[in-house]
């Protein structure tokens, strides 16, 4: 009796595997819808907090929101942190966005005073592409207000400038 049950179980398994294999031989055509061009796109590149530049990674969460991580390490500055980007004007070739960055800033001022402090940068940016060159390559220009200052500038809150270039992998 026990052997008969094991034989039936093996026979049932064999029938299921044969049926699945048969179904895979005749696939049903399916049309995929147009995907969201911003959804979960990952990019990497260079980002500048003038006059220093470093590495950056960015991921688009949806068409309006993105998260960016930045790491700048040079002879005169160490800056690392995370940035939230909100795109409020979307166009095919360019986007305007507001951003807020929380990070840690260490740099020398114009009087060679060492500033080492956590800080916040907030501002506006322009992201654009030259679609006739490489469509996955995006550039950005930013202007913002820093609570800790900028490398090579006077200590204290100041206006800063930045820019970057990112290549989106997918």
Mapping DSSP onto H, E and C, the string for 129-166 reads: CCCCCCCCEEEEEEEEEECCECCCCCECCEEEEEEEEE
User: How confident is residue 41, by pLDDT bands cut at 50, 70 and 90?
Assistant: confident
Architecture of the domain spanning 42-168? Beta Barrel (2.40)
**How much is the pLDDT for 38?**
60
- 23 pLDDT more than 70: no
Sequence ranges of the domains in the chain: 42-168
- Residue pointed to by tokens 């969460």: 61
Kindly state the helix (H) or strand (E) to which residue 79 belongs, with its residue range.
strand 77-90
pLDDT 10s digits, 119-166 = 999 999 999 988 666 778 899 999 999 998 877 777 789 899 999 999
Is 168 in contact with 41 (CB distance < 8 Å)?
A: yes
Contact 31, 25 (CB under 8 A): no
Contacts of the segment 51-57: beta carbons below 8 A, 24+ positions apart:
51/151, 51/152, 52/76, 52/77, 52/79, 52/107, 52/151, 54/79, 56/164, 56/166
Report pLDDT digits (tens) over 59-101: 999 889 999 999 998 888 888 999 999 999 988 888 999 999 9
SS3 label, residue 13 = helix
| Predicted TM-score of the model (pTM) | 0.73
């Amino acid at each position: 009796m026990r052997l008969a049950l094991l034989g039936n179980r093996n026979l049932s398994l064999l029938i299921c595997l044969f049926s699945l294999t048969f179904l895979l031989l005749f696939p049903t055509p399916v049309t995929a819808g147009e995907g969201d061009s911003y959804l979960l796109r990952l990019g990497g590149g260079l980002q500048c907090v003038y006059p220093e530049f470093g590495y950056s990674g960015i991921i688009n969460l949806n068409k309006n929101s993105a998260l960016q991580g930045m790491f700048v390490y040079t002879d005169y500055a160490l800056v690392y942190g995370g940035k939230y980007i909100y795109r409020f004007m979307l166009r095919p070739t360019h986007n305007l966005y507001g951003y807020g960055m929380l990070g840690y800033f260490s740099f020398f001022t114009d009087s060679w005073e060492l500033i080492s402090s956590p800080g916040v940068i907030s501002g506006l940016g322009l992201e654009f592409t030259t679609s006739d060159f490489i469509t996955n390559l995006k550039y950005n220009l930013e202007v913002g207000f820093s609570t800790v200052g900028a490398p090579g500038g006077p200590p204290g809150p100041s206006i800063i400038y930045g820019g970057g270039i990112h290549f989106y992998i997918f």
